[in-house]
Amino acid sequence: MGAGAGGLSLRGARLSPEERANSSKSRAIDRALSKDHTDDLNRFKILLLGTAESGKSTIFRQMRVLHLDGYAKEDALEYLSIIHSNCMEALTQLVEACSAFGILHDITVQEDVDRFEGFKKKLRDPEGLVIPVVIGRCMDRVWQSPSMQMCYETRRFRFALLDSAKYFMDNIVRLTEDNYVPTIQDIVHCRISTTGINEIAFNHKKMDFKMVDVGGQRSERRKWIHCFDNVDMILFIVSMSDYDQLDPEDHKYNRMKQSYEIFKTIVHCDLFRHASIVLFLNKYDVFVEKLKTSPLRRSFKSYDGDNSEESARDFIKKLFRRCITDRHKFFVFETTATDTGNIDLVFGSAVAHIVNENLRSAGLHE
């Protein structure tokens, strides 16, 4: 089964709110920023890199929540139809998984599945999708049914499923209520692939930052080079839950090995010889869950440790660390990007480490 099975090609088909904002409202901010080019150069530039779905935009959104003014009602509403598309996609994947695994539903549940499928067929404008209240309730009944719960609990890692499927399905009734306005939690769980270059500027601990978010899909990686100037810190995001996944764009490759190859190329790029490298081992929450049923050794033959979280994590950490040379300032953290508190802590810590390291190299710090 492929990702996004069911034909709802809603991800990546349109601009994300970040991109729309970038091309209108925040262009004004950019202009204001670039008016004083020197000012812009003085900003500590962080470039977010990593493969598709690793969590770059989630971290980018967390910066807006933590260090800017978050999301006003009208900005939050820009995410509504994307969130509803995610909900449709998640339930489609789950329903298809039930069929593929031969899991049968009770008659009443099957009626709700049919109602959901009927609604999907009639959809004309996926761009402006709004799930009606009655369909939201129907989706909730399907999700809560014993057959669906059994499928999710016992097979969730055996088919392609949105990372935030459980979050959205657990909240489907609230998300489809009249007058629903997406919360920050809803926004950071939302999935839309990035197809442009997005920037935000913010201040943290009296330092001025500029963070740049790019798309991680193969076609998007070609654009990365346009952001390579004056980078102070590469924030490379690896999805830890990728260790047993095939690259959806090229089934010959393991997704984490692909991520490792890209990381290696980036850290060996001469343009970044003075940049600090920060590695986020992201989706740590999913990684811990996944290890219980999918041993690391099945995907990494050279791994001879046990299946404990510590041992598996250290192996992956070492693998990436091996690319680092002496001249690099390198820091690595385990992260769960959907957790605002975690990102606050880890980002603060990464910045503090870099500042200390810079002071040390300048001979100003022990």
Q: Which of residues 273-332 bind ligand GTP (CB under 6 A)?
A: 282-283, 285-286
Active-site position among 58, 176, 195, 336:
58
Residue 64, token pair as written in the block: 């807006």
Residue 154: active-site member: no
Contact pattern for ligand GTP over residues 43 through 72, marking x by CB under 6 A: -------x-xxxxxxx--------------
- The whole-angstrom separation of Cα 328 and Cα 349 is 18
Burial 196-230 (b: 16+ CB within 10 A, else e): bbbbbbbeeeeeebbbbbbbbbeebeeebeebeee
Q: Cβ 319 to ligand GTP, closest distance in Å?
A: 19
53 is catalytic: yes
Output the smallest distance, CB 283 to ligand GTP, in A: 4
Of the candidates 170, 180, 163, 161, the residue with the CA atom closest to the CA atom of residue 139: 170
Q: Tell the residue number behind the tokens 């729309």, with chain if given.
A: 20
| 285 interacts with, out of Mg ion, ligand GTP, none, CB within 5 to 8 A per kind | ligand GTP
Least gap, CB of 53 to Mg ion (angstroms): 8
Q: Can you tell me which residue has the tokens 């290696």? A: 264
129's contact among Mg ion, ligand GTP, none, with CB below 5 to 8 A by partner kind, is: none
Burial class (CB in 10 A: 0-12, 13-18, 19+), 246: middle
Max alpha carbon distance in the chain (Å)? 73
Among 216, 245, 247, 347, binds ligand GTP (CB under 6 A): 216
Q: Which is nearer to ligand GTP, 26 or 54 (CB)?
A: 54
Torsion angle defined by CA atoms of residues 99, 100, 104 and 105, in that order, rounded to the nearest 10 degrees: -40
Residue among 52 and 169 whose Cβ is closer to Mg ion:
52
**From 168-176, 191-199, 246-254, 341-349, span contacting Mg ion (CB under 5 A):** 191-199
Q: Which of 217, 218, 289, 357 is catalytic?
A: 217
Q: Which of 254, 324, 243, 233 is nearest to 281 (CA)?
A: 243
194 scored as a contact of Mg ion (CB under 5 A):
yes
Q: Which residues bind ligand GTP (CB under 6 A)?
A: 50, 52-58, 163-164, 188-189, 191, 193-194, 215-217, 282-283, 285-286, 336-338
